[in-house]
């Protein structure tokens, strides 16, 4: 028996419908309650027959058009820019402009350039020294993966 999930995209507000096996969905929900990591890792096993975009719709509501736009940007970024630079263009889910960079939650010594999940599951601001060791997805950005933090440039007059 199948069920239809209706999810609202957090990026554009559009709704998406996705048809899933009701038993698989119940098993995935139970796994999420029992283990935090099951939210992301379990979905890849339980819904292996679905595309990455469909699984992301289940997880976050992000629909396939926004999913494609997010990861098309990531592929362009990997080809054209060093991910360690601060001259990145703001893009929801990847790069965030702030008036001032927060301190690194790991070492407390440096300004953070990353916001993302640690290998232990909690999210933290991380500097470029701590990010490769502590970030669950070193060097990567995207919804649920993390984002680069950059200082907002003042508009020139």
- Kindly list the averaged pLDDT for each block of 10 residues, start to end, along the chain of length 157: 82 84 84 59 79 81 72 47 48 80 91 86 86 80 83 69
One domain for residues 54 and 89: no
- The answer to whether residue 36 sits within a structural domain is yes
Instruction: Mark whether 95 and 129 lie in a shared domain.
Output: yes
89 and 38 share one domain = no
Last residue of a domain, one of 20, 35, 64: 64
**How many domains in the chain?**
2
Provide the pLDDT for residue 103: 92
User: What is the per-residue pLDDT for 111?
Assistant: 93
Give the pLDDT confidence score for residue 109 in this predicted structure: 92
- Which of 38, 64, 90 is a domain's end point? 64
Residue 19 domain boundaries: 2-64
Helices and strands counted in the chain (H then E) = 5, 6
- 3-class SS of residue 105: coil
In a domain? residue 93: yes
d(CA 42, CA 44): 5
- The answer to the question of residue 105 being in a domain is yes
């Amino acid at each position: 028996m199948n069920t239809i999930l209706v999810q609202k995209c957090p990026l554009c507000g559009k709704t998406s419908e996705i048809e899933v096996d009701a038993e698989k969905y119940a098993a995935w929900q139970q796994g999420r309650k029992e283990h935090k990591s099951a939210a992301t890792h379990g979905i890849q096993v339980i819904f292996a027959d679905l595309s990455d975009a469909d699984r992301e719709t289940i997880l976050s509501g992000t629909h396939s058009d926004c999913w494609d736009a997010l990861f098309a940007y990531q592929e362009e970024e990997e080809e054209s820019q060093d991910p360690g630079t601060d001259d990145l263009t703001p893009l929801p889910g990847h790069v965030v402009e702030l008036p001032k960079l927060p301190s690194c939650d790991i070492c407390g010594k440096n300004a953070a350039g990353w916001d993302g999940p640690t290998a232990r599951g909690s999210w933290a601001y991380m500097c470029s020294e701590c990010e490769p060791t502590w970030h669950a997805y070193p060097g990567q950005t995207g919804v649920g993966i993390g984002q680069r933090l950059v200082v907002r440039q003042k508009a020139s007059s």
